Structure formats: structure tokens, C-alpha cells
Amino acid sequence: MGLILAAVTIIVAVLIGWLRLRKKQSPFTTTENSLNQSASTSGALTPSVDPLPELTASTFSVALNPTIQKNVFLLHVRNGATPPLATARNVVAHIGYKRRDGRGMCVDYGAWMERGTITDIEGGQTKNLVVALTDDGRNFAVNWTGLRTDFTGPRLVPVGELTPGQWMMVVTMTAEKYEKIFTFLLTIEQNGAIGCQLVTRSPW
């Protein structure tokens, strides 16, 4: 009888010890689970950031503008970004020209061949910016004076002649939440031919 009572006492003691140990561990486990759930919720609530466009511009061409029947010198602007959300929206170009002797001029609203002075450039797409107009062997910086989203009328108005010699041309592209600046060295020959080189900074 004494042996049975001793055995029962030992079993009860073990059960009480086990219950006490479980109670001590329970808050820790609950806290850990709460922290894991909180971290998971926090990660789910982290706001996503839309990818930015990647505008590049380094090549040029000459084309006939059908609305005014004159040749224009075009800067090719490409959006190298691939996600659909990386579209450059409402892109506007401001163009500044400056000679070594200090003479300069500015185009407030550069004209896009595709659509007036404001355009969207989707990822992988290229648009063409008018940086000079050629008329009878002479080159001119031109401003767009028509509706900003319409390119149906001959509204390219010269703001000044790009005379033979070297000019610095700074093109500032502004879009929604995005801006990019390109600097070029323009060389105008006596016969009106234009050469253009992308540079990292102005030499003067």
C-alpha cells in the first residue's frame, strides 16, 4: 500500500511540473506567433514603388516634316525601361543653345514629331524631338506655338538661327516624377550640315 501511494505521489508531482512548464512556455509561444503575424502583415502593407522610366538620347536623323514641308533635325529619345508601369508620361522638352562666344537662345516647348509638345514614351518605345529646322541651307531653333497636344498645323516658329560654328545644346526632359538632362555639342558647317555629339558636360 505504501509503495502504491508513493508511486501515485510521484506521478502527480510529474504532472504538476509538466503543467507549470507548459504555462511558462505558452506566453513566449503566443508572443512569437504574434510577432510573426505582425511581420507578415507589415510586409503585406509595404507600399509598392512604381518603376521609373529610363530615357536615353544619343542618335539623330534628318526627316521631312509633312506639315510644313521642310527638313527637321531629330533627336531620338528612347525609353529603355521594360515594365509597363515605367512609361514616361507627359514628357515635355526644354532646349537651350549656347555658342562659345556667349550667344544663346532657348526653346520653351520642343516639338515632338509624333504629338505636339507633350507626349508619352512607353517602355521600349522611341519618340523623335525636333531640335532644329532647316530652311534653304540655314538652320533654326524652333518653338512650338500651337496646341500642346496637336501637331496638325505649321506652327513651328523660329526663335533664332543656328549659325555655322559650335553650339552647346542642353535638352531637359521633364515627365511625371522624372527628369533627365542631356548635353550635346552641335557643329554647324558652312553648307548647313549638322553634326552632333553627346557629351558629359559643357566645354565652356
Same domain, 148 and 194: yes
Residue 204 falls inside a structural domain: no
Q: Indicate whether 82 belongs to any domain.
A: yes
| 113 and 37 part of one domain | no
Closest to 95 measured CA to CA, from 155, 166, 154, 168: 168
Number of domains in the chain: 2
**Residue 29, domain extent:** 1-47
Model confidence pLDDT, tens digit, residues 143-182: 887 654 454 454 788 999 999 999 999 999 999 999 999 9
Same domain, residue pair 70 and 133: yes
pTM, to two decimals = 0.73
Distance (Å) of CA 25 to CA 19, 32, 37, 147: 10, 11, 19, 73
31 and 86, same domain (yes or no): no
Q: Do 79 and 43 share a structural domain?
A: no
Which contiguous run of DSSP H or E holds residue 174? strand 165-175
